[in-house]
Amino acid sequence: MASCKVPNDRICVDVITSSFSLTKIVTFSPSIVIINKSTVELEVVETISDKEQDKWKSVNPKEIISFWSHNIKDGIMCVRYKHNRATSSPFMMNEKYRTLLSMNDKERPVIYVEVSATNFDSLRVIFGDYKIDDASLLVVNCLKNDSVSLLRSYCSHTI
């Protein structure tokens, strides 16, 4: 029997057999892990009905922290830059996806976020830098004689 006291009783347990099949390896991990692959210090918080559930948790560049959710079913999170408090719109932290979040900051207007599931039902929320010259969309026109028009909310292009 093993005992592990954690907030909200949310822990992931993974049991595997060693390469020689003589030893069982039991791994305990938090239900959510935050990984900051960006070059700027971030802060994260869970929100329920637009109310912050805890104090903002600081995540240094290249740091990994455990995150204990109050309501994993709804799974809403916000992120902000620590240096200027520019806050993202809320995003789901319990579904697998990746997106860019608008951060309302001149130097770093958006931040990349990826939510992925691990083999033992825990979640990873990964943040990364996004530079203005990075392409969030690549459009290739293979139509020889026809143009394709694209319209974004702030500019339009014809290719």
In the block, tokens 């560049």 appear at 61
The domain limits of the chain are: 7-158
Question: Phi, psi at residue 76, to the nearest 5°?
Answer: -105, 135
- Tens-digit pLDDT profile for residues 1-52: 566 676 666 777 778 888 888 898 887 778 888 999 999 999 999 988 778 8
Three-class DSSP category at 7: helix
Task: List the 32-36 sheet strands across, edge first.
Answer: 63-67, 32-36, 123-128, 110-117, 97-102
- Report d(CA 107, CA 39) in Å as an integer: 12
pTM for this one?
A: 0.73
